[in-house]
Structure 1
């Protein structure tokens, strides 16, 4: 692997270096989750690449990695993204923004740029929530938008708590929580990300800026019935939680389809004990719901919940609902967005339905996002893609923005 990414071929070098880390042979794509072996290997890769460039690398109290060009201090210009993935995710969601940040530093140095303000590249921990269920966990902890005690108690599918996972990674779980010192250093934050949709394809543009993020959240529905034998239990004697769980899945599409701009998805359903010839005792279902504003998002969830309660009662089952995360509509800083767009010659601005660490930081510091065209429009799946020419256009755009903001 080359020491620096100063040519288009270097993109291939970077992605090749990561291509075997966290490969999911069962699902396809990649499974890289917060503080697991694959994500820790990627963190080590980033640290090595940052140190090669003479950047000072620090890990904050919440496990976010910071690589500094210049002395850390207030009014820094910060960029970066994340290295974890959803289960079976694509190669570009997260790593593209991290690689682009390293490349942008190389490009600026190659032209002799000396920043008047410090520049930092940040790698946020557990952005996807693929292990502990809460998206943007590193940035939520940093900003204090999640309670630290509640975060420490989060568990992964194997019952490992976040506290235990960060301890194994060499961090002190007692220090998790809002980090005013790290937050105060951020003057402005710009995240580059592969677009998760077809907006730029339809606009025939390589790069765009974000205008807003849909309100969105995750809810867990637990249907409790009676576990029993699939062959020995007559249908009329059953309290099968799989039936109301199935009704929830169908209600999700029906309800969201009737609300303008709404998206609702059941992406995970876990029966217990999960045997083929066993009536489940419980079924957990996770709902992801999004809409252009808080009112519509809440209305979708309320109607889906009402349908689920009715179906549970009809089968003699109990239902509990827990909100695991929620974020209201994010409108990115208009002044920064316009400045970034102006630097890039007026690239298009477009909303996104995907959540990002930039959306969490937007409530605390001026924040902007750059999108790189995704020709498939597919994300959170192996078909996610970005062409080399568009990646180069993205890093050139990021370098131009950093030069303007830190010059």
Structure 2
């Protein structure tokens, strides 16, 4: 395998006088934006193609809880890649080879994944537990210290959120909530503290009639937002529903707020396209506390959080307008930062391709997903280099960013010291 290397000569000082030497802005910055580009730190960013010759072409990537890269390859094998010269094969017969249906989760010395038939499988304490629990395609799992939260597919086309535990010699469903989106990607959130002590937010009550769009891979959206106790999966708050509208998403972003957190997702319907909304738990009732101006009907946006601030790419398949949202009362006011960005490919179930690290930078793909811009707390500039094929998934830890490309190659990005 030929290994490529790109050294992105990007000064993180973001001095306006040096912009032309290291990057070209996508759109001309305003004078206000230019004055914000102050010195942050000096450094450079390097992007290398990983040598996966011992692993094979990647079909899916994830990170374990110590920051090692996990790869499902084109042979249906699960590999851990702490270093390209020392990859370790952890399992075979993992997920369908053509399209892995569920991203593996590695945490608390446990590994959860779908086998080649789509059934939940767990490796714990050196023992492999196989089950007949069929995972719902394109959903996601959460690993807890003593359980796994997953989305189970049923023969009638419905899906349930389930808590799975090892009981005796087998994995069993010990709690269930129905119905949820078939591609639901639950998150753990604490509205008043540390998210590691939080409970489960999930999009529920599938709706295929109120607002049919299909931008996220199907025409099924969510009618409700649920906040569930992580052990029993019983509601901890009255769910949120908006008459005549649906939540056009399959997951949430988490926005820090004071000593707690809030949920961010998208709402569409009632003759309007998508708006970004912030949701809080107020007196055990989920409430929509702030909303952006909706886009025109059948126009979508993908929100993301960076450095404690809320952003979105509006119409990522058409215009790619990058905006920063600021809450004023119950309104989200927007500031346009530029156009030509896209953190979501039309029809994809992964809704946010932004990678990076809070406090340092976020990498935002451009339209076409082969180029990127780097956002720091003090500015935004475009990187000149072009990747060989489009980005289809990104993951980041405290040191590296990993980009899975459409051809199965993985590129690793890091700051040079």
Q: If the length of structure 1 is used for normalisation, what is the TM-score?
A: 0.26
Q: Which structure dedicates a bigger proportion of its chain to helix?
A: 1
Q: If the length of structure 2 is used for normalisation, what is the TM-score?
A: 0.26
Which has the bigger relative contact order, CA under 8 A and spacing at least 6? 1
Say which one has the larger Rg: 1
